[in-house]
Amino acid sequence: MSDGGSRGTAVEARPEQARWEAAPPGPRAVATFQVFRGDRTGGELRAYQVPVTEGMVVLDAIHYIQHHLDSTLACRWNCKAAKCGSCSAEVNGRPRLMCKTRVDEFGGQPITVRPIKVFPLIKDLVTDVSWNYRVNKEIPPFAPAPGDAGPWRMHPEDVERLFEFRRCIECFLCQDVCHVLREHRGTDRYYGPRFMVRIAALEMHPKDTASREELLHGKGGIGYCNITKCCEEVCPEHITITDNAIIPLKERVADAFYDPWRALLRRLRGRKEPRGT
């Protein structure tokens, strides 16, 4: 994290600065950035004029502002390669990674950069995402059968579904766009799409023996998701969050809580039917 031009920015600044200074002489394109400045007590959009370089992304512009125009601007970033999930923001109203959002796609229009709305604001573009880490701790971790600690021989058909879930970079853009968390302030009722993906990865693992259906049905709040698929639309890793994680989990919850036939079978057999058999 770099608040006000500290740490990472100083390291990253040199090549960017060199690119700007090495640009050919003559009139340069300039983009107008409306960047949110403020903290929990309030704030406003402030306009900055930033010279555009070839291949420039929004995070480059934020760095330019930090280095040349206002060193007090705070933003969180790390890899600048769309892999660490740190530089999430709302760019022209859409949750995006700033490092993956090219400036030229806006065609010279003003670019508005706001912090992600769903989490408490710390300063400028930096929000407090620690709620996610607390939620993560509430999810029972991977639990292989006792005495079956591996190493395991895994069949491709058993793990194929899980690869997609492992691509998640925890940028929390899906949490930001989820209307249950965002518009209905549902952090007390619903874990959000990110953790549906995490639970799906655990629940579908062939070696996992824990059951998280009660958690999903209860505190996890999967019933609050009404599958409007906004989370899928913003995922920078293109994870099919709704179709491959949330809906399969909803069906599993339906198995456990809403299917009278399965409930009857469970009663007759006196136990829950084991998965994967």
Partner 1 sequence: MAEHTATHSAAADLPWWLQPAATVTILTAFGLYAIWAALQGHGYVAPYLSPFYSPPVTIAGIPISPAWWVLWGPFGFRATCYYYRKAYYRSYFLDPVACMIPESRRRYGGETAWPFIVNNVHRYFLYVAIIVLAFLWRDTVETFFPGGHFAVHAGSLLFLVNVVLLSGYTFGCHAFRHVAGGNLDCFSCARGGRLRYGLWQRVTALNQRHAQWAWASLFSVALADVYVRLLMAGAMPDPRLF
Q: Tell the smallest beta-carbon distance from residue 54 to partner 1 (Å).
A: 21
Distance CA 41, CA 23 (A): 40
Question: 22's torsion region: left (phi>0), alpha (psi -120 to 50) or beta?
Answer: alpha
Query: Are the CB atoms for 63 and 12 separated by under 8 Å?
Result: yes
Q: Tell the smallest beta-carbon distance from residue 244 to partner 1 (Å).
A: 9
> Tokens representing 73?
């601007």
State which of positions 15-74 bind partner 1 (CB under 8 A): none
Rg (CA), the chain: 22
Q: Is 255 in the site for partner 1 (CB under 8 A)?
A: yes
Q: Tell the smallest beta-carbon distance from residue 110 to partner 1 (Å).
A: 9
Residues across the chain: 277
Binding segment for partner 1 (CB under 8 A), chosen from 46-54, 74-82, 123-131, 221-229, is 221-229
Query: Are the CB atoms for 35 and 44 separated by under 8 Å?
Result: no
Q: Is 220 in the site for partner 1 (CB under 8 A)?
A: no
Q: Is 183 in the site for partner 1 (CB under 8 A)?
A: yes
The count of chain residues that interact with partner 1, using the rule CB under 8 A, is: 47
Nearest to 96 by CA among 110, 113, 81: 113
State which of positions 73-132 bind partner 1 (CB under 8 A): 90, 92-95, 112
Q: Is 224 in the site for partner 1 (CB under 8 A)?
A: yes
> Is residue 193 within a helix (H) or strand (E), and if so which, with residue range?
helix 193-203
Q: Tell the smallest beta-carbon distance from residue 252 to partner 1 (Å).
A: 7
120: which residues sit within 8 A by CB, 6+ positions away? 40, 127, 128
Nearest to 113 by CA among 189, 162, 164, 45: 45
Binding segment for partner 1 (CB under 8 A), chosen from 22-30, 53-61, 69-77, 250-258, is 250-258
Q: Tell the smallest beta-carbon distance from residue 22 to partner 1 (Å).
A: 31
| 217 alpha carbon, distance to own chain's centre | 22
Q: What residues form DSSP beta bridges with 203?
A: none
Q: Tell the smallest beta-carbon distance from residue 221 to partner 1 (Å).
A: 8
Q: Tell the smallest beta-carbon distance from residue 171 to partner 1 (Å).
A: 16
187: which residues sit within 8 A by CB, 6+ positions away? 118, 131, 181
Q: Is 247 in the site for partner 1 (CB under 8 A)?
A: yes
Q: Is 179 in the site for partner 1 (CB under 8 A)?
A: yes
The single-letter code of the amino acid at 250 is K
Binding segment for partner 1 (CB under 8 A), chosen from 19-27, 49-57, 143-151, 179-187, is 179-187
Q: Is 229 in the site for partner 1 (CB under 8 A)?
A: yes
Distance CA 100, CA 80 (A): 8
55 or 218: CB nearest partner 1: 218
Q: Which residues contribute to the site for partner 1 (CB under 8 A)? A: 90, 92-95, 112, 155, 157-158, 177, 179-180, 183-184, 186, 190, 203-206, 208, 221, 223-230, 233-234, 243, 247-248, 250-255, 257-259, 275-277
